Structure 1
């Protein structure tokens, strides 16, 4: 297998594991502490409206529903996790992929909070860093913690990818 295919396979494994662990975290929060989870249908609705040239909404929940929006949103969620894992794996190189360390994963996980803060939340009507949310500070803290969990998931995912695919 060539290096690019190997890296892509590693990214799929690591990103899927990282995103699944993030989802388990949010599920646990919802079940144990009644913390509401993000409705991925809203992300799908946002992406679905892009094909019609609509990129920004006053409130995505009031936008016209898009056929298949929940699946589209979940697909976006996992594709984004895989892409971030691929960037991390590419930056860190083959030696690190054989024995991943936690710090780069946490840095990447926490850096990914920029995507919702600066792109998704403003485009869906919540403002920069959820400034228009009912409780902006709470929303921001939840985002940071969730993306920190994604960083832990990246570490577990990188180790999983090394074990399954090999680190090279």
Structure 2
């Protein structure tokens, strides 16, 4: 996902989610506030950048682990693309129905200036995440022999 975000920014000037906002949200959850009118105007949280990036990677690892739990550990030794892509597609549920509403952006970005564009970009990014899981499994097999 991170490589895809960089490619989008360099080639098309498209910026991705600032993970500091995830850290800000998590910081506010720890203080008892889950929903925001808009996370963009909510007060900053000390360490929000690092909190957001750590959460970003931990969530990715947990989703990859969930894939192996659902389809079985055999997938690690014989990875196939479809289960990984399905994991990517399913993973978009969290931003659409939890994070975006909690950030004040509405369900599936409904309150953003261009909700359909945001939805399409989210779906593509999460498909890329699924592709990344698959490629990581293939590269790991190749490296480990």
Structure 2: distance between partners of 1:72 and 1:64: 15
Match of 1:82 in 2: 61
Structure 1 portions without partners, runs of 5+: 1-21
Of 24, 36, 51 in structure 1, the residue corresponding to residue 15 of structure 2 is: 36
Structure 2 portions without partners, runs of 5+: none
Structure 1: distance between partners of 2:136 and 2:30: 32
Q: Tell me the CA shift for residue 62 of structure 1.
A: 0.5
Count of aligned residue pairs for this structure pair = 145
Q: Tell me the CA shift for residue 164 of structure 1.
A: 5.2
Match of 2:112 in 1: 133
**Structure 2 SS opposite 1:45:** helix
Q: Tell me the CA shift for residue 31 of structure 1.
A: 1.0
Q: How does 1:3-152 map to 2 (within 5 A)?
A: 22-152=1-131
Q: Tell me the CA shift for residue 35 of structure 1.
A: 0.5
Structure 2: distance between partners of 1:165 and 1:114: 33
TM-score by length of 1: 0.82
Q: Tell me the CA shift for residue 105 of structure 1.
A: 0.4
| CA-atom RMSD in angstroms | 1.3
Structure 2: distance between partners of 1:92 and 1:159: 16
The 3 A distance-change label for structure 1 pair 89 and 161 is farther
**Structure 2 SS opposite 1:65:** coil
Runs of 4+ in 1 over 4 A off after TM superposition: 163-166
Q: Tell me the CA shift for residue 160 of structure 1.
A: 3.2
The 3 A distance-change label for structure 1 pair 96 and 107 is same
